[in-house]
Chains A and B, each alone.
Chain A
């Protein structure tokens, strides 16, 4: 079942087109990652989904309901943590967490206390005195102590230390195990890699790639390192070979999955001394997309 679905979602601020036909789909029970460079439109998309911004064009639905018209209904089943958590300087963290729970229409008090101790937050301090990470914890605790069906996080770990990041991952896994859906945006690819089932890459307001990590890896192909007896003059010109670099006395490069066979055959003629290969990380994939769209050229997918 589909939990979140946008079709041709666009958002303009004045003349500036922040979103330009975004299509994403989050299925029930999956963790969906949303990645892209600064200013790509991640936060804007999430804020449209929350009914904070009104879409200029296209449709966006959560649980099959319109995100703008039925916002109040939808929010009963959604927990959201914004990217910049701004709190009231003269309220304490504990007060804010309770307030958030009540504004949503219910939360689990015992779980709230458990989360507070797991995240190591001092709930008696005024929000004015909290660091960025602590403000984020307040919002995360409020989110996880509610029994939502969909969790939306905008760069949830950007202010957390590695230990807290781990606590966050545990709660995400737990929510997933309970069949809940999670939509999170991030810059931290290793995190997305660890947590997410499916990923969408957004750039300049457009989704440029979406799918499971496995599919994306397949499309991106493997990363190879090769050392040969004879030099390989035409390596960079081979079909399906990208990002050729001289490295440690050999070459490192990326090979598209469907050209792998041909490339390896060709290279064997040069006397292979050493050959290593590893699956691409999300980072490789991301960088490749980035370079392609940046230069406007490069081999197609």
Chain B
């Protein structure tokens, strides 16, 4: 038996060594963000009355769907506020970290043959997977304890040690759960991409189940790890059973993963892989066909996910309507925006968030040029009679089509579900228009990505930072009351809010012109530089 686990300890040290930079950065980011948010909230909202006002604005179903229910109720302390507004989102990102790490150290290593080298050494059959799981146990425990202690150390009145530790533990336990789940998926699928993809899909589904559940049915929420972890209610009731549940299931899943690992062959998976074609289909003939083929699965998954996101948001519109009826504060708001219903006020807010999410697959398509190049596959294309202009344009075209499709899907998902639950329908065109009007902004992001590819390929991931910043500015900008000019730093901030604003076609045309200019410049840069490998 012990044979199976020989040298687990050395393998753990090896993983820790390889990730000696990555792991501390991940852990410390969570610690700083969690503690930082406590400080921000504590300073931003001085007294109970201000916090109470925020609590009321957070009480609507759209926010509940986004971050979960408020357990603080009337007593919306800084602690309750932090747990309410931050727990689910942070837990989801901790889950993402675990997914990426586990996938990288299991299937990723196996795929690249590193694991084969390790297996050839006198190492137990299960040592490798055990080592990965143990390292992640350490990582999540550290993350939990450090987050908890540093939040409590701030000495904010409502943020006590017990609640802080529970908050940290909720993050760590969720992380552990997803680490174990990914370890199971790594046994089922046959490569790292599929492992990561399946795990992230599971994370998204769990998030959506929780979103719908929190608005409509508590029982549904409890079927999602992100749903039950919220029921820990840190700083309010401080319940530990959700943490225990996550950890318990993580242990069970880990054992399952180890069992599956012990009965499968190296480099194989349990999910069947289709017998491949011996000839290429007619669509696989140029760089565009290739770009599409390589990203097809991912793009379809994104399309489904974004459509469901639209539907999820749409399905809570009815609740929003009912909720706001009879609340004075919001009656005033309507007066300000004469002639518009509450729903119409909400549509542009939802559209902006969805547009930023819809930009992710479009930018990914464009950045694929860089991945192809780095992995030495662009050489095959450029080395045949295909010009670099054509390559750049093909990926650009697919990115633009992706943007159009995704915006259309989010808008129509919102509209279809919205009109199904609303008493008074809005024209579907309004929803789609509100979403679609973001196209020039997404095109600018695609153009920027291409500029990076052309001139600074190794810094291309900066575009993600910019997108993150855009999200922060557009979505949180109102919550944090940032000045107007900040919003103008991102292309998304220049888009009119349909149906509230007058649409200025001049601005949109100018944005499209800028996007085209950036794209041409980027393609020119790509034309005149070395291919990197």
Does A226 touch B at the CB level, under 8 Å?
no
Does the CB pair A88–B294 fall under 8 Å? Answer: yes
Does B379 touch A at the CB level, under 8 Å?
yes
Interface string of B279-300 (1 = CB under 8 A from A): 1110011110010011000000
Does B18 touch A at the CB level, under 8 Å?
no
CA distance A89 to B191 in the complex (A): 9
Does the CB pair B382–A98 fall under 8 Å? Answer: no
Does the CB pair A128–B111 fall under 8 Å? Answer: yes
Does the CB pair B279–A98 fall under 8 Å? Answer: yes
Does B271 touch A at the CB level, under 8 Å?
no
Does B377 touch A at the CB level, under 8 Å?
yes
Does the CB pair A103–B277 fall under 8 Å? Answer: no
Does the CB pair B377–A76 fall under 8 Å? Answer: no
Q: Collect the chain B residues with CB atoms within 8 Å of residue A96's CB.
A: 280
Q: Which of A84, A98, A124, A129 contacts B284 (CB 8 A)?
A: A98
Q: Collect the chain B residues with CB atoms within 8 Å of residue A54's CB.
A: 528-530
CA distance A115 to B383 in the complex (A): 21
* A/B pair count, beta carbons within 8 Å: 104
Stretch of A67-75, A170-178, A210-218 contacting B (4+ beta carbons < 8 Å): A67-75
Does B376 touch A at the CB level, under 8 Å?
yes
Does B387 touch A at the CB level, under 8 Å?
yes
Q: Collect the chain A residues with CB atoms within 8 Å of residue B531's CB.
A: 47, 52-53
Interface string of A70-97 (1 = CB under 8 A from B): 0111011000101010111111101111
Does A105 touch B at the CB level, under 8 Å?
yes
Does the CB pair A124–B385 fall under 8 Å? Answer: no
Interface residues on A, range: 35 or more
Q: Collect the chain B residues with CB atoms within 8 Å of residue A104's CB.
A: 384-385
Does B420 touch A at the CB level, under 8 Å?
no
Q: Pick from A47, A90, A100 the residue with the most CB of B within 10 Å.
A: A90
Does A202 touch B at the CB level, under 8 Å?
no
Is chain B's binding surface mostly helix, strand, loop or mixed?
loop
Interface residues on B, range: 35 or more
A94-B384 contact given A52-B379, A54-B529, A102-B286, CB 8 Å threshold: no
A91-B384 contact given A125-B276, A126-B276, CB 8 Å threshold: no
A262 CB to closest chain B CB, in angstroms? Answer: 52
Does the CB pair B279–A52 fall under 8 Å? Answer: no
Within 8 A of A (CB), among B475-533: 528-531
Q: Which of A47, A98, A100 contacts B380 (CB 8 A)?
A: A100
Does A200 touch B at the CB level, under 8 Å?
no
Within 8 A of A (CB), among B340-396: 375-377, 379-387
**A52-B531, A102-B280 known, 5 other contacts, Cβ within 8 Å:** A52-B383, A54-B529, A102-B286, A124-B276, A128-B111
A-side interface residues toward B, CB under 8 Å? 47, 50-54, 71-73, 75-76, 80, 82, 84, 86-92, 94-100, 102-105, 123-126, 128-129, 139
What are 20 A-B pairs with beta-carbon distances under 8 A? A50-B379, A53-B530, A53-B531, A86-B376, A89-B111, A92-B276, A92-B278, A94-B280, A95-B281, A97-B280, A102-B284, A102-B286, A103-B286, A103-B287, A103-B386, A124-B275, A124-B277, A124-B278, A125-B276, A128-B191
